[in-house]
Amino acid sequence: MKKSAIIIALLIISITINAQTWIKTDGGTAFKFISKNEKGTKVIPNMILLADLYGTAKKASNPLEDTVIFNSVSSDKPFYIPTEQPGLQNIFYKLHAGDSIEIKIIADTFYNKTFSSPVPDYVAKGSIVNLFFHVQEALTQTEIEQKSREQNTPLIKVDSLRLKKYCNNLKGVKKLKNGLRYKILKPNPTGIMTKNGSMVSVKYKGWLIEGDVFDENIKGEPFKFVVGMNQVIKGWDEGLRLMKTGEKCRLIIPWYLAYGSHGNGPIPPFTSIIFDVELIDIK
């Protein structure tokens, strides 16, 4: 059995035998320790946590059943998670490398505050999200950069080959000088052009080159943000400035315009990503 699978299995088993006290934080969120490792590196602000994460929530279609929303075991790849994660940072600051915890957080708070996105259609609004979290490593920015330098050459090469292969199979793709590629899937010549400072509303779907979808709001509420204000990844700020209202565009974003050397949740470091974005409105 893979190491991370063993860890997650121990977390789930531990829940049935562990009577640790639940500790409440802001907004109705609570957590408890499953196991502690006080000799491990203390988590402090501005660190990156290399962590195993398994999360469930109640299904919108049947609130009595759970659906898995995170599972680093399936890919055997831990998540890279910044400590400055809204709604969770005060929990992270109480941890050490090697600690295992369970977190209970309201779905609306988790998605709206932590990810700045609406609750997915398949998750029951107002339900509790259960997160089982094991900290493998707690790394400073300097340590992350050092770790990245040791790993980045092979990772960047693999990502570059994947990206080239994907783009070779896609006709009509344009490329900017900064490496962002895009293809207008649905043009609208009479639409309003986006510019810096525009408040935009968008529907989107994001996936890895291999095809794994990591985020979408196609059936949910539009996502709103101000273009050019660093509220989203650079690839989005650049890409939205190419669009008019009513248009749909595929953005093929290189890793350095996406989540860089750190990655984000299910998106590994040095990973190019793809979004189909539909620009609904500009204000």
| CA distance to 185, 194, 258, per residue, from 173 (Å) | 10, 20, 18
Tokens 């920015």 belong to residue: 141
More confident residue, 66 or 155: 66
Q: Give yes or no for residue 192 having a pLDDT over 70.
A: yes
Q: Do the strands 66-71 and 48-58 form a parallel or antiparallel pair, or are they unpaired?
A: antiparallel
Matching CATH topology for 3-139 and 147-282?
A: yes
Interval 256-273: pLDDT, tens: 999 988 888 899 888 999
Tokens of 3: 């190491």
Three-state DSSP at 25 gives coil
pTM above 0.85, yes or no: no
Q: Where are the domains of the chain?
A: 3-139, 147-282
What's the average model confidence in pLDDT over 224-239?
94
Instruction: For the domain covering 3-139, report its CATH number.
Output: 3.10.50.40
How big is the chain by its Cα radius of gyration, in Å?
A: 20
Give the pLDDT confidence score for residue 6 in this predicted structure: 47
Interval 210-228: pLDDT, tens: 999 999 998 889 999 999 9
More confident residue, 8 or 60: 60
Tokens 């501005």 belong to residue: 46
For the chain, give the number of residues. Answer: 283
What's the mean pLDDT when you consider all of the chain?
A: 88
Residue 173 makes CB contacts below 8 A (sequence gap 6+) with 167, 181, 182, 183, 252
Assess contact for 182 and 80: CB atoms under 8 A.
Answer: no
Specify the CATH number for 147-282; select among 3.40.50.150, 3.30.420.40, 3.30.720.110, 3.10.50.40: 3.10.50.40
- Catalytic site residues? 204, 214-215, 233, 259, 275
Alpha-carbon distance of 71 to 116, in angstroms, equals 21
Give the pLDDT confidence score for residue 9 in this predicted structure: 54
Confidence of residue 17 (pLDDT cuts 50, 70, 90): very low
